[in-house]
A and B are shown apart, each in its own frame.
Chain A
Amino acid sequence: MKEKKVTAWDRVKIARDSKRPTSLDYIENIFDEFIELHGDRYFSDDKAMVCGLARIGEMNFTVIAEQKGRTTRENIERNFGMPNPESYRKSLRFMKQAEKFHRPIITFIDTKGAYPGIGAEERGQGESIARNLMEMSDLKTPIIVVVIGEGSSGGALAIGVGDQILMLENAIYSILSPEGYATILWKDASKAKEAAEIMKLTAKDLYDLKVIDKIIKEPEGGAQKDVKHTSEQIKKEILKSVKELNKKTVSDLVNDRYNKFRDMGEYAKVK
């Protein structure tokens, strides 16, 4: 890979650019057909998460996607892409369906984090994320995760337990937003830029840490410069991953996924 002088903070800005393609832009370009389906069957339909059925050629998929808006109006409708528990429960409903019909699942991560609100806590934000993590780890169908923009906190990971984790070159993925990180560690949100540089949140950092499996190149200036081209690259990787994952038996698939996350953690024997 060519070395460019792009700082982590530059990537944060690109990842958050209001012109950056959202999940629906990619879905439209990647799939030949897509039908959105709604609701968690318990409480409501949370529009920060888009779920539905999609097709490429003869192949069917279940799509789960965190959805930001681009205009203020869209953002209010989408709750700025910050899911409430209903989003995670909706996504789990569709993932279980995918398992039933042996369809591969494609998830798109793009969120500042799960929504920190009174209602979200009342309805079990923590429980809804935990349940997704647990259920995804054992789902008997291939799961391909694509980090397209911002992937912050448990709100991102809640649809991120997959067999193959792809990430766009300028996307970020982290324990928390740089602002939140700076607030917790230094009680100063304005140190977000410094935080971004030490958090290891770029695709390259995460590849080196073995948190993601593949970096998808973006055009010069970011995905926003050429949505069609970027979508083509994502599509190519999705198809390649599905082909590989379909070769595995279901038990190998689930065991390999378990071990993939089982192996995450950096520790050594005390001397």
Chain B
Amino acid sequence: MVIDKIKKRNVDNGQVKSKVDIPIGKWVKCDKCKEILYKENLHKNFGVCPKCNNNFRLSSRRRIEQIIDEGTFKEFNLKIETTNPINFPGYKEKLKALKAKTNIDEAVKCGIGEINSEKVVICVMDGNFVMGSMGSVVGEKITYSIEKAIKLKLPIIIFCVSGGARMQEGIISLMQMAKTSAAVAKLHKAGNLYISVLTDPTYGGVTASFAMLGDIILAEPGARIGFAGPSVIKQTISQELPEGFQTAEFMLEKGFVDKIVERKEMKDILYKLILLNK
């Protein structure tokens, strides 16, 4: 890990005055500018590198802390797990190990909470769990949340981060695209507000289903957003991809995103959008 290198460096980026009192393991290196950051300060800055504005990947727990009023989040307690529909070798064991390691039970966390006292249904995907991929459980939790929003006449906000459909569940994962999109159709018919927020990265079967179906689609700066992955495209067309291809800024320019929102302003913008749709 980066820890050895960190110890040898004299860190002083304005964030950290002295490294003496800070135990190893509380440091993190920015992938983009290579700056060494004190984790606590990084979290206070919404998980954004103070030096280069790089958005660190957020866990669903941290994301909910940033968006939802303290103490108001109530998770839907579905308590479901996949049954390994195509008997993919080692899949159940992999998930079990991952659950133990990450302390989260699937690639999306869903529930009800308040944004400046405005009640919403919120789903937050988690890239730390099989790349935020969508299998049966993610599909069911998203669908359940949408149906719950319809029933309770609440706006729904979905934070997306995903590599796409979950390979280990094969065709059943593919069908989750139809299932969640059908639920969104119902939601729109019922007249509920749906805000989709695209974060880094949002790809494949998630892009090609609920992520792109919001009344309003927001994105975080620099987030990579697309259907096909860049390596697949490069391989297919045998040429280099243009600078900035498949970024949030690219998607805004092409007309597929409504607005790019900085993390520290996300809660406020969501709040205002909810009010403007009341």
Q: Is the CB of A199 within 8 A of B178?
A: no
The listed residue with most A CB atoms (<10 A of its CB), out of B137, B178, B207, B245, is B178
Contacts of A180 in B (CB 8 A): 232
Contacts of B89 in A (CB 8 A): 198
Contacts of A120 in B (CB 8 A): 227-228
Q: A127-B212, A133-B178 are in contact. Are A209 and B171 (CB under 8 A)?
A: yes
Least Cβ distance of A46 to chain B in Å? Answer: 15
Residues 248-262 of chain A, each 1 if its beta carbon lies under 8 Å from chain B, else 0 = 000000000110011
Q: Is the CB of A121 within 8 A of B177?
A: no
Q: Is the CB of B236 within 8 A of A116?
A: yes
Q: Is the CB of B170 within 8 A of A174?
A: yes
Least Cβ distance of A145 to chain B in Å? Answer: 11
The CA-CA distance from A118 to B256 in the complex, in Å, is 15
Q: Interface on chain B toward A: helix, strand, loop, or mixed SS? A: helix
Contacts of B175 in A (CB 8 A): 157, 211, 261, 264-265
Q: A125-B208, A137-B185, A209-B172 are in contact. Are A264 and B179 (CB under 8 A)?
A: yes
Q: Is the CB of A154 within 8 A of B208?
A: yes
Contacts of A227 in B (CB 8 A): none
Least Cβ distance of A61 to chain B in Å? Answer: 22
Number of interface residues of A (CB under 8 A): 53
Q: Is the CB of B82 within 8 A of A264?
A: no
The listed residue with most B CB atoms (<10 A of its CB), out of A121, A126, A127, is A126
The CA-CA distance from A257 to B213 in the complex, in Å, is 19
Please tell me if A94 contacts chain B, counting CB pairs below 8 Å. no
Contacts of A57 in B (CB 8 A): none
Size category of the binding interface on chain B: 35 or more
Least Cβ distance of B238 to chain A in Å? Answer: 11
Q: A130-B210, A154-B227 are in contact. Are A124 and B79 (CB under 8 A)?
A: no
Residue of B nearest to A212 (CB): B171
The CA-CA distance from A12 to B63 in the complex, in Å, is 43
Contacts of B212 in A (CB 8 A): 124, 126-127, 130-131
Residues 131-152 of chain A, each 1 if its beta carbon lies under 8 Å from chain B, else 0 = 1011101100000000000000
Residue of A nearest to B206 (CB): A126
The CA-CA distance from A157 to B175 in the complex, in Å, is 8
Residue of B nearest to A268 (CB): B83
The CA-CA distance from A118 to B234 in the complex, in Å, is 9
**B residues 1-52 in Cβ contact with A at 8 Å:** none
Please tell me if B59 contacts chain A, counting CB pairs below 8 Å. no
Contacts of A129 in B (CB 8 A): 177, 208-209, 227
Please tell me if A6 contacts chain B, counting CB pairs below 8 Å. no
Q: Is the CB of B171 within 8 A of A138?
A: no
Please tell me if B86 contacts chain A, counting CB pairs below 8 Å. yes
Contacts of A116 in B (CB 8 A): 227-229, 232-233, 236
Contacts of A257 in B (CB 8 A): 182
The listed residue with most A CB atoms (<10 A of its CB), out of B170, B172, B213, B241, is B170
Q: A118-B237, A121-B228 are in contact. Are A200 and B167 (CB under 8 A)?
A: no
Contacts of A135 in B (CB 8 A): 185
Residue of B nearest to A175 (CB): B174
Contacts of A115 in B (CB 8 A): 236
Q: Is the CB of B178 within 8 A of A184?
A: no
Residues 163-203 of chain B, each 1 if its beta carbon lies under 8 Å from chain A, else 0 = 00101111111111111011111101100000000000000
**A residues 147-163 in Cβ contact with B at 8 Å:** 153-154, 157-158, 160-161
Please tell me if B139 contacts chain A, counting CB pairs below 8 Å. yes
Residue of B nearest to A152 (CB): B174
Least Cβ distance of B91 to chain A in Å? Answer: 11
Least Cβ distance of A238 to chain B in Å? Answer: 21
Please tell me if B127 contacts chain A, counting CB pairs below 8 Å. no
Contacts of A158 in B (CB 8 A): 208
**A residues 88-130 in Cβ contact with B at 8 Å:** 114-118, 120-127, 129-130
Q: Is the CB of A261 within 8 A of B79?
A: no
Please tell me if B111 contacts chain A, counting CB pairs below 8 Å. no
Please tell me if A243 contacts chain B, counting CB pairs below 8 Å. no
Least Cβ distance of A99 to chain B in Å? Answer: 13
Contacts of B169 in A (CB 8 A): 266
Residues 175-193 of chain A, each 1 if its beta carbon lies under 8 Å from chain B, else 0 = 1100011001100000000
Please tell me if B242 contacts chain A, counting CB pairs below 8 Å. yes
Q: Is the CB of A130 within 8 A of B181?
A: yes
Please tell me if A201 contacts chain B, counting CB pairs below 8 Å. yes
Complex partner residue of B86 from A127, A160, A198, CB under 8 angstroms: A198
Residue of A nearest to B229 (CB): A116
Q: Is the CB of A134 within 8 A of B88?
A: no
Can you offer 25 A-B residue contacts whose CB atoms are under 8 A? A114-B227, A116-B228, A116-B233, A118-B245, A124-B255, A124-B256, A126-B208, A126-B212, A130-B211, A131-B212, A133-B178, A137-B178, A137-B182, A154-B208, A157-B175, A157-B177, A175-B165, A175-B167, A201-B170, A211-B172, A211-B175, A262-B179, A265-B140, A266-B136, A268-B81
The 9 residue pairs across chains A and B that have the minimum distance between CB atoms: A116-B228, A137-B182, A126-B207, A133-B181, A266-B85, A265-B136, A126-B227, A129-B208, A264-B175
